[in-house]
Amino acid sequence: MEFKDYYQILGVEADADTPDIKSAYRKLARKYHPDLNPEKDAEDRFKEVAEAWEVLKDKERRAEYDELRRYGGRPQNDFEPPPGWRSSASGESPNFSGDFSEFFSSMFGGGFAQGGAGPRAQGFRGQDIEIEMPVFLEETISDVSKPISYELPVMESGQLRRSKKSLKVKIPAGVGDGERIRLRGQGAPGQGDAPPGDLYLHIRLVPHPVFDVEGHNLLVTVPIAPWEAALGAKVTVPTLDGKIHLTVAPKSQSGQKLRVKGKGLTSKIGKGDLYAVLKVVMPDSTSPDVEALWQELAQKAAFDPRTEWGNKGGGKS
């Protein structure tokens, strides 16, 4: 097994005093704590740091570790404690509050890491797993059953490996972005007869090609021609479950919202609304005839949209 240099892990000298070690630990814990740092290797880094602190904060454990360090010296892959080595610092039934390495266990006893930053609960219950669950907007209208597959950490003959698991889950109607749901017993298996952990699904609504979400309301951007904005129009607008007809009033503005009651997302507090947001779009190309009509319109309308800026006539320059 690999010898762990706890001083190096915490970035302190071997003769550092406890307050300095504590300060180094806190700095690194803040940086790598998996609840603060979402990066992939942060959790492993944090576990190392926490293990180093667990040993070095305790006088007796630190003294024993120092002794072993003199014996085992440098980081290497074939470290074994001296024959007959037995820790006196951990007592008969060690009860450490973290997930520690094989190296730690060889010194101070206790089972070693199953992964996860949480405490090892009594009886080595399996670790809870949280995964992101992408859900399409259409799937939130009613209860839907979805297949998922994820990886579980499994201990086999002292080795940690990953095993794939697949199951079908019922996603209740009206789930919202960021919500979490729980599947009892679908986390990592427990050790021996201990129960498995739970699986937590973190719901993420998949960005929709047409609709945007605002709370439990939906927004749909409706492109309209300039003359539709000017004269009004009847347009067909998609909703999550079919199409509806909307009347665009004459003299409508870009960005104006039209509310369609009850055509939003389903939620615990009822159905949301759909807002059609108007967006005036210019045609890509125009013929000379149309160009002439625009010219005529520009002269007749005599409209300056920038009067607020107070630069009279600025719009025409």
Partner 1 sequence: MSTTMIRVTVKELCEREGVSHDALLEVIQHEIAEPLEGSCVDDWCFDVTSAHWVKRALRLQRDLEIDWIAVAMLIDLLREREALDRENQALRQRLERFLTAGEG
Residues that bind partner 1 (CB under 8 A): 26, 29-30, 33, 35-36, 46, 50, 97, 117-122, 125, 128, 130, 145, 167-172, 177-184, 186, 197, 199-201, 207, 209-210, 212-214, 219, 221, 223, 255, 277, 279, 281-282, 284
- Helix 18-32 with 42-56: angle, nearest 10 deg: 160
| Residue 204, strand partner residues | 134
231: CB partners within 8 A, 6+ apart: 250
Residue closer to partner 1 by CB (options 88, 286) is 286
- Any bridge partners for residue 161, and if so which? 154
Smallest distance from partner 1 to CB 84, Å: 33
- Cβ atoms of 105 and 112 within 8 Å: the answer is yes
Please count the residues of the chain: 317
Smallest gap from Cβ 100 to partner 1, in A, equals 13
Contact 75, 3 (CB under 8 A): yes
Smallest gap from residue 55 Cβ to partner 1 (A): 15
Strands 257-260 and 274-280: antiparallel
Nearer residue to partner 1 within complex by CB, 16 or 277? 277
| Residue 171 beta carbon to partner 1: minimum distance, rounded to whole angstroms | 7
Count of CB atoms situated within 10 Å of the CB of 29: 14
Choose among 43, 14, 38: nearest CA to 113: 43
> Least CB distance from residue 60 to partner 1, whole Å?
20
β-strands 199-205, 129-135 pairing = parallel
| Shortest Å, Cβ 178 to partner 1 | 6
Give the residue from 120, 107, 100, 127 showing the smallest Cα distance to 44. 100
